[in-house]
Structure 1
Amino acid sequence: MNDPTARSVLVVGGGASGNAVTILLRRAGITVDLVEASPDWHSSTGSGITLQGNALRVLRELGVWEQVSASGFAFGSVGMTDTDGTVLFVAEDIQTGGPDLPATVGMQRPRLQQILSDAVRASGATVHLGVTAESLEQDGDGVSVRFSDGTEGRYDLVVAADGLNSATRAAIGITDKPTPTGMAIWRIAAPRPEGLERTDLAYGGPAHIAGYCPTSESTIYAYVVEGCRDRASIPPQSYADEMRGLAQGYGGFWPEIVKHIDDPAEVNYTWFDRHLVEGPWHRGRVVLVGDAAHCCPPTLAQGAAMSLEDAFVLCELLTTRDDWDDQLFTDYRDRRLPRVRMVVDASVQLGQWVLDGVHDADVPGLIGRTMNALKELP
């Protein structure tokens, strides 16, 4: 029997999936090195994140649920409003993580990153910041890696957790790339107006969608979604003006939120992408997790959940099987692909209905079917 604790793993990328893989493998006694391209590990881009129950289920497994709960804002419903802020109806969220976890927790994205990176440090993993994997050379026993700082390492496995535009994915010959869906989102963090205690969405008006999510007792993140424009045509110094111009067309809590859309450096603009690697998620001893393997628009707020579930499933297989072979990585991909495809397709469809102006689409039915399916363990 092979001893997994005698093995070593390189994790490339220190986002949600890479951090989760590292924490779970270290718990099993496996040696882990993590390299992260950013020299500032905690400067997570984005203003806020919506974590639904199936994401919280994995965070509980990682041992960080209490910190997440204390740092975020839990709620259990979503409101639909008119553009003037009038609440049209409120729907109860499905508790995809089970009855003992909230349906949804909103939190500041940098705070989640801080919690996870602290857990990585506490796990005993070796972390190298501002470092990338420059070359990978595989043989039958493992992977030799040369790093951007001139050092080298030898590993039994490399986990590519380096995001949507993964250089590791390209380096091992997987050619799938993300494709834009036609939508883009403006986001900003802001103080929480009194009385704002859940996500509300308004469809129509100056943008396709305007919404917000509480991220702590004192903060929210707010967003407006429109058709994507050429990024080169929008100078970063105009970001606050662009977002404010869209957001000021909405009522309810929006006038108070708009007061805080004044610093272009605090506004984030990104396109929505669809990405799903249809073929194998590995080449030899290099395997993809998270956004490197799949990504979807945030219309279901399931991106982070899918990445965390990847980490959970991969580590379950790595820590319970003797052989780290093609069969293991094939089983990992086969177990994840149907669930991820369901989420990616549903997320894209929800956005496409908006782009196409379909007014009689079965949005509640699609969301309900998808979220109910996610109550099952990954």
Structure 2
Amino acid sequence: MSVSSVLIVGGGITGSVLALALAQRGVRADLAEITPQWRGTGHGITVQGNLLAALGKVGVLDEVLRRGVPFNLLRMRQADGTLIAELPTPRTGGDRLPATLGALRSDIQEVLCDRVYAAGVRVSLGLSVRAIATGEGQAHVEFTDGSTGRYDLVVGADGIRSTVRAMLGITTAPRPSGMSIWRVVADRPAEMDCAELYYGGPRYKAGYSPISADKCYAYILDTDGRLGDFGDQPAWQLMYERSDGYGGTWGKVRDTIGPDSNVSHTRIEWLLVDDPWYRGRAIVIGDAAHACPPLIAQGAAMCAEDAVVLAELVTTDLPVRQALRAFMARRLPRVELVVRNSMQLVRWEMGLEPHTDADVAETMSSTLGFLAAAEA
């Protein structure tokens, strides 16, 4: 094998999937997670089939499916709820898997955390890296607690604000997309059976997905800004006010938003690091190398695919440098398509370029169709 010991910096979906994939192949994987309590965020996530396929490869698919709601359709509606189109979602994970799953991100992370511990991965919480020195032989790491270690490979899976990326001398930085997003976990109306998108309202777009028998994840894509830029009211009240004008099922969800609602607001940024993502025996993957607005719901899928493919290639007989070069050849074209097309949708929805509803539907469908047909 190219490597027998790997340090993973970051314990989100990317790092967790990588840890499991490496452990399956007999690699000693250490995982350093900066937060003292290891858990995912509580908002919802729309999971495409190719993420489900990646989760299947590391043995957690069945448990994740039990915690979410599968569906195979996407409906597009006017702001008042009038139906525009109903589109079958391409099965990016193959015909045996649901096209899409609505779930809580925290539920997926909980499943991954449990399996990572069970796989014997050494997990260190409240710890990150301070310095990396990488050469032809091994990478030398200094940790934030003053300890050190040597590894055959160091992987930065530490998100869009990656410290590992900066340590490798990669200067690409996140950029504003021009949008922000309001998210809420709310009661699920009885008629909600799949993901739906609402266009033509007071904001750029509204949408939702069912995530359990009685809960849903709903969101509004809004103008860019930090939470305080929208006013000094609580987040739930700001989301309630800014979603005024959406009817149909979204209007029913809005009526339930109140002081006890789980509401979050986040600026949407994007990132695409030019080839290569590695320096010597250290590499960044997932959101540390590429991040896209959630308009095609492929961000987490691209991250999990990175992890599975990297584990596959660094456990072949290829030398490390060749394995990382092969990884880039497989991953960059696929990731670049998702990021570029996601940003195209952003420009259309912000009114920066002319478009039709057919342009939006075709771009979403063709992107997912490509991902379904091409090798991850």
**Short-chain TM bin:** over 0.9
Deviation at 1:48, TM superposition (A): 0.7
Structure-2 residue corresponding to 1:345:
340
Matched, 1:332 2:327: yes
Q: Contact 1:238 / 1:264 at 8 angstroms: preserved in 2? A: no
1:95 alignment partner, one of 85, 91, 95: 91
Matched, 1:246 2:212: no
Structure-2 residue corresponding to 1:12:
9
Structure-1 residue corresponding to 2:34:
37
3-state DSSP class of the match of 1:356? coil
Q: Name structure 1 gaps, 5 residues minimum.
A: none
Matched, 1:211 2:207: yes
1:276 alignment partner, one of 251, 272, 275: 272
RMSD: 1.7
1:317 alignment partner, one of 278, 288, 313: 313
Q: Which amino acid aligns with 2:350?
A: L
Q: Contact 2:184 / 2:261 at 8 angstroms: preserved in 1? A: no
Q: Which amino acid aligns with 2:326?
A: D
C-alpha separation between the residues in 1 aligned to 2:166 and 2:130? Answer: 12
Deviation at 1:234, TM superposition (A): 4.0
Structure-2 residue corresponding to 1:23:
20
Structure-1 residue corresponding to 2:63:
67
Q: How many residues align?
A: 373
The 3 A distance-change label for structure 1 pair 76 and 236 is farther
3-state DSSP class of the match of 1:158? strand
TM-score by length of 2: 0.95
Q: Contact 1:191 / 1:218 at 8 angstroms: preserved in 2? A: yes
Q: Contact 1:236 / 1:265 at 8 angstroms: preserved in 2? A: no
3-state DSSP class of the match of 1:189? strand
- Map 1:134-173 onto structure 2 (within 5 A): 134-173=130-169
Deviation at 1:235, TM superposition (A): 6.0
Deviation at 1:88, TM superposition (A): 2.8
Deviation at 1:200, TM superposition (A): 1.1
Q: Name structure 2 gaps, 5 residues minimum.
A: none
Q: Contact 1:274 / 1:295 at 8 angstroms: preserved in 2? A: yes
Matched, 1:109 2:105: yes
Q: Which amino acid aligns with 2:172?
A: D
Q: Contact 1:46 / 1:268 at 8 angstroms: preserved in 2? A: no
Q: Contact 1:181 / 1:272 at 8 angstroms: preserved in 2? A: yes
1:354 alignment partner, one of 338, 349, 374: 349
CA deviation digits over 1:91-123, x for unaligned, max 9?
111111111001100101100000111111111
Deviation at 1:233, TM superposition (A): 2.2
Structure-2 residue corresponding to 1:53:
49
3-state DSSP class of the match of 1:340? helix
Deviation at 1:323, TM superposition (A): 2.1
Matched, 1:374 2:357: no
Q: Contact 1:248 / 1:254 at 8 angstroms: preserved in 2? A: no
The 3 A distance-change label for structure 1 pair 82 and 265 is closer
CA deviation digits over 1:117-143, x for unaligned, max 9?
111111100001111111212233112
Q: Contact 2:14 / 2:157 at 8 angstroms: preserved in 1? A: yes
C-alpha separation between the residues in 2 aligned to 1:289 and 1:222? Answer: 28
The 3 A distance-change label for structure 1 pair 110 and 39 is same
C-alpha separation between the residues in 2 aligned to 1:314 and 1:147? Answer: 23
Q: Which amino acid aligns with 1:25?
A: L
C-alpha separation between the residues in 1 aligned to 2:225 and 2:260? Answer: 17
Q: Which amino acid aligns with 2:322?
A: Q
C-alpha separation between the residues in 1 aligned to 2:348 and 2:274? Answer: 24
3-state DSSP class of the match of 1:99? coil
Deviation at 1:366, TM superposition (A): 1.6
C-alpha separation between the residues in 2 aligned to 1:265 and 1:146? Answer: 42
Q: Contact 2:139 / 2:151 at 8 angstroms: preserved in 1? A: yes
3-state DSSP class of the match of 1:153? strand
Deviation at 1:259, TM superposition (A): 3.5
